[in-house]
Amino acid sequence: MNINMDLKIAVLAGDGIGPEIMEQALAVTRAVCAKKGHKLLLKEGIVGACAIDATGDPYPEETHRLCMESDAVLFGAIGDPKYDNDPNAKVRPEQGLLRMRKQLGLYGNIRPVMTFPSLIHKSPLRADLVEGADFMCIRELTGGLYFGRPQGRSEDGNTAFDTCLYTREEVERILHLAYKFAGQRRKKLTVVDKANVIATSRLWRQIAQEIAPQYPDIETDYLFVDNAAMRIIQWPKSFDVLVTENLFGDILTDEASVITGSLGLLPSASIGVHTSLFEPIHGSYPQATGKNIANPLAMILSAALMFEYGFGLMEEGAMIREAVNASLEKGIVTEDIADGGKAYSTREVGNWIREFIER
């Protein structure tokens, strides 16, 4: 059992509902650390629209230094309508997120997709399709169309182009990470590409076929991305670990997230060369900002992932999951999943989970 660890965490609450849900995640984190004897060292930084407003930069150098000097980053959300609604804005909050991923070397995004028994009825899919679904999407984060150069628009504004670029090193790195997680789970890996059309996908498949024999205890199969998109809806329980490139992963993980019935329930981890980052998959939800109604569970579960994958503290992560499951079973939930019952505030849900852990 690990005790008396120093956990140095950079706290980037970000925009919109980020500060509200972060407050609850930190309260739960403090409760876990107090119970298990860890020393918690928290330092706050700014990122996104709030950073643009303060410094003109969505990812200031001071924030980057803070992240590099920390053992893990706990991140809320970024985004603001004043930038979303201005197509001519030169600086955008999302640029900060992309730069943070690149500069921290956050090459692998881990999104668990699971159903909660008490919320099966909230899923848009039939209960028999989703009950027991439990798989993990691993998305390559620092290559592909989002980072490929050149990109741009013609002088007359009528033509635009992007470049999709992957190197062997990038593909090997994410595949080895995916095999690591598959080995810890049900030992099945699905490689998703578009190798019948796209050159970078053919490189992905070639390298995957070269690496697969190194993991003889893991079953490897291959799906084109369009087929994978259908299978996630038709047969979600067929997946264990799914790995794919940046753009495909962006789309498929959002598709998979609706299986649970609420975006407010799913955390994610971004594994990095330098410092790993943990965040909910939902956005900044500006319509709810300051109203104390946002669902904090994905942010709280991101703290659980931080304990597990950031510090190797599995018991601490399990404590948080147990508390979250108990809150769902008791109906201590926010309005997005209250389903006609009493809706609790963001703070009330966070306080209940914290008190459950403290008992």
Which residues are identified as catalytic?
A: 146, 194, 226, 250, 254
Q: Residue for token digits 């099966």?
A: 120
Cβ neighbours for 96, distance < 8 A, ≥ 6 positions apart: 47, 48, 51, 52, 57, 58, 59, 78
Burial (0-12, 13-18, 19+ Cβ within 10 Å), 143: buried
Tokens of 241: 């670990």
Cα(139)–Cα(215) distance, integer angstroms: 20
Q: What is the DSSP letter of 162?
A: -
What is the CB-side half-sphere exposure of residue 213 using CA atoms within 13 A?
4
Tell me if residue 135 falls in helix, strand or coil.
strand
- For helices 346-358 and 18-36, angle between their N-to-C axes, nearest 10 degrees: 10
Beta strands in 170-224 (DSSP E): 188-193, 219-224
